[in-house]
Amino acid sequence: DRLEERAPHYNALVTLTRARALKQAKKAEHDIALSKYRGPLHGIPWGAKDLLATSGGIPTSWGAKPFKEQAFQYDATVVKKLDQAGAVLSAKLAMIELAGGMGYRQPNASLTGPCKSPWDKNTWAGGSSSGSGSAVGTGLVSFAIGSETWGSILSPANNCGVSGLRPTFGRVSRYGAMALSWSLDKIGPLCLSADDCGIVLNEIA
Catalytic residues: 49, 128, 152
| Amino acid identity for residue 119 in this structure | W
HSE-CB at 99 with a 13 A cutoff on CA atoms is 23
Q: How many residues does the structure list for the chain?
A: 205
At 147, the amino acid letter reads S
The single-letter code of the amino acid at 48 is A
In 3D space, the residue among 115, 160, 135, 189 whose CA is nearest the CA of residue 4 turns out to be 135
Distances 18 to 11, 23, 34, 91 between C-alpha atoms, Å: 18, 9, 24, 8
Q: What torsion do the CA atoms of 86, 89, 95, 100 make, to the nearest 10 degrees?
A: 40
- Those residues whose C-beta lies under 8 Å from the C-beta of residue 27, and which sit 6 or more positions away, are none
d(CA 205, CA 203): 6
